[in-house]
Amino acid sequence: MTRQSLPLNAIHAFIVTARHLNLTHAATELCLTQGAVSRKIAALEAWLSFPLFERHARGLKLTPQGAALLPELKSGFEQMLNATGKARKSNTSVRLKAPTCAMRWLLPKLMALEQMRPEIHVSLTTTVDHSNQLDNFDAAIVYGAPLEKGWRLFDEELTPVISGSLLKQQTIAPQDLTHFTFLHPTADSADWQLWLRAQQLEITMKRNQHFATMDLAISAAIQGYGVTVADVTLIQSDLATQRLVAPFSSSVKTGAVYSLLQRPDKDAPPFLTELVAWLCLEGNPFISATAGG
């Protein structure tokens, strides 16, 4: 070991051993054998050319030189840990999980945030799993029953929508829907039946097409394949650009909600709080303040 090479591993072993004044305890913390810790201490003593510990039957005691050196080494080691920790965090993305059905609402918000705050990096993973677990993610949008903890983004509220190219007249009656193929966001007809019951209607669905997600059913409706029921929040941009038309003013809440979970502050990466605040803020004006839990 040369004078020019700073023995960082040995310094760390010295700091831990000085805290315990016991080789066995130090070895346990360092996940090393007692002999390995002793060798690291001996190597550092050889590098410094003076002893760091006095060995006694009851344990270790710092020598005057070791006691004088310890505070500065601890301070320097902590500064290195803090500096590398900050550097690592500054290059960390916020890991966000979201169901595919929420993409029509989520992606425009993430694009707007990127334009205003390019330093906030979001790593987005989509899923068809609606479990309310963070797993290995920093935040997760979940769909289902209201949660006791987390942010309530919006309630699911359904209304029929159809491509304007399929409408031969500006206004239609609910019974006119029988002329179209019914596009179902799920494997059953539950969403359609919920809306029909709310209107006290019974309609024979002659032609049907079922999809795995609401997003797929909405996309099919935009392409003119039929009429679907869709969440009014998810289709806001489609209605604004007239890719879709909502022929009826009535809607029905399903009882399901879109919620947002986040990792506790102590485990959170940089900018997680700002991302959460942005997604939870109505209208998404520029923000710099953080949001509470």
pTM of the full predicted structure?
0.65
Place of tokens 């005691």: 61
Q: Out of 84-93, 216-225, 252-261, which region has the weakest mean confidence (pLDDT)?
A: 84-93
- pLDDT number for residue 220: 96
Residue 167 has pLDDT above 70, yes or no: yes
Q: How far is CA 154 from the centre of its chain?
A: 17
pLDDT tens digit sequence for 13-29: 999 999 999 999 999 98
Residue 59 has pLDDT above 90, yes or no: no
Domain with CATH 3.40.190.10 in the chain: 94-153+256-280, 156-254
Question: Band of the pLDDT at 291, cuts 50, 70, 90?
Answer: very low
Angle at the Cα of 256 from the Cα atoms of 253 and 258, rounded to 5 degrees:
115
- For domain 156-254, which architecture applies? 3-Layer(aba) Sandwich (3.40)
Domain with CATH 1.10.10.10 in the chain: 8-90
In degrees and rounded to multiples of 5, residue 73 shows phi and psi of -65, -40
- The CATH class of the 94-153+256-280 domain is alpha beta
Three-state DSSP at 259 gives strand
Best CA proximity match to 112, nearest among 236, 277, 238, 284: 284
Best CA proximity match to 268, nearest among 116, 84, 181, 138: 138
- pLDDT number for residue 4: 59
Question: Band of the pLDDT at 268, cuts 50, 70, 90?
Answer: confident
pLDDT tens digit sequence for 147-165: 888 899 999 999 999 998 8
**Which helix (H) or strand (E) covers residue 275, if one does?**
helix 272-280
CATH fold of 8-90 reads Arc Repressor Mutant, subunit A (1.10.10)
Q: Which two tokens stand for residue 203?
A: 């309609």
Place of tokens 């992606």: 107
